[in-house]
Amino acid sequence: MRTFEAAAALLLAALPTSAGGPVFGRAPYDAAGPPQDRISVSIDASAARQILDALSEDKLKPGDASALMALDAVRRQIADSGQPDSQWVEDFAAAFDQRSRPVTFDLRSIRLARDVWRPRLAALVQNLPEIERQASRRADALIPADVPVALSARVELTFGIAGLADHLVVERDHGPVIVVDLGQALASALGDEPGGAAVTDLLSRLAAAETFRAAWAAYRSRSPAWSENSPVGPAAPLLRAVAAQAPVALFAYNKDFFPLATWLNGPMLQAVDSLNQDANVLLDSRTPLGTRAEILARLRSAGLQRDPALAAGAFLADGVFQKDGRDALLRALAAGPAGLFRAYAKASRVKGSNLPPLLPGLESTVGGQRPSG
């Protein structure tokens, strides 16, 4: 997400405005209905504050690194790194030594910028109630109401997560623990007001994304429509993967990129085209088994090997939302994997919709039949 935010900061400056104000910003995750009190997000900044306090000392104090390792967030980031506790101790000491370089946990960059981080963190802590409220509301916005879902997520703020990730997730039965590296997560917002709207939006969206991911998975596991009405046939894995990913992927986009069909029309055309091509190949009885296997493998892959067709999910979901509203999108999500395709196909047929069409009849392949024509 950090990489996306950096690119977003450049693109947002070029977005046009109208005389009446911005002509963007209608994000589905901000279209919350009446409060449901189903999902809650709490944020703990104690690890970030204690790490920053320790790194702000004039000299390395013996025992500080070990004391910090008792914090839950630090324990989780050490476990996630796969490194021994001693590596945390070494990298903490390296933050105070100009001749040393961090190996796994980059705490030196935080120490060097400690005079910047102290007021920023203080302002952020003051604004935590609003970030929690916004994250809870956003995570709840796209969960249909027909299946009971209750979930509590805990966000732990820290510094120095290994690698380039801005957060890590620890799954629990009653809700995830999301450990957020402020140094990475706020890298694209260092010029913004510490307690301002941009920082609030960024952190609440990150927390909401992972909270929603867990809530959406719980919803699908309990929804009869997602089991009884699941697509069958050669394109079924593709349809299910895209539909399951669709609402989650919406959170990857800053609110100012909505409607996606307007501000990201090129990527949308490419994603829907990839979806149509994959579907066409899978539905063709002449397609070799090896080619089918390659497509299905890409659906399960991560990173650069991930099938580009999966990116279509966010565009389909936003297309339904922008044309027919939140209730229509919730009905589509509640109808099972095929529901989103049916709703999008309907929306794309409206004159002037600016939505690229699906493979003709793709929404009718729930029964495994190849589209006619």
Q: Give the pLDDT confidence of 242-281 residue by residue, as tens digits.
A: 999 999 999 999 999 999 999 999 999 999 999 999 999 9
What pLDDT is recorded for position 365? 64
pLDDT surpassing 60 at residue 355: yes
* Nearest of 203, 186, 250, 217 to residue 41 by alpha carbon: 203
What pLDDT is recorded for position 24? 52
pLDDT band with cut points at 50, 70 and 90 for residue 213: very high
CA distance 162 to 136: 27
Residue carrying structure tokens 């029964």: 367
**Region of poorest pLDDT, from 43-57, 131-145, 300-314:** 300-314
**Region of poorest pLDDT, from 41-45, 120-124, 154-158, 225-229:** 225-229
pLDDT digits (tens, 9 = 90+) for 271-326: 999 999 999 999 999 999 999 999 989 888 766 557 788 899 999 999 999 999 99
User: Who has greater pLDDT, 25 or 256?
Assistant: 256
Angstrom CA distances, 39 to 151, 156, 176, 188, stand at 5, 17, 11, 28
pLDDT surpassing 70 at residue 125: yes
CA distance 110 to 117: 8
What pLDDT is recorded for position 308? 84
CA distance 353 to 315: 13
Alpha helices in the chain (DSSP H): 2-12, 46-55, 64-68, 72-81, 85-94, 108-112, 114-126, 128-140, 182-185, 197-222, 225-228, 236-249, 260-263, 265-283, 289-300, 312-324, 326-334, 337-348
* Nearest of 218, 321, 238 to residue 279 by alpha carbon: 238
pLDDT band with cut points at 50, 70 and 90 for residue 12: very low
The torsion defined by the Cα of 209, 215, 216 and 218, in degrees rounded to 10, comes to 150
What pLDDT is recorded for position 216? 97
pLDDT digits (tens, 9 = 90+) for 61-107: 999 999 999 999 999 999 999 999 999 999 999 999 988 888 999 99
pLDDT band with cut points at 50, 70 and 90 for residue 230: low
Domains of the chain, residue spans: 45-222, 226-367
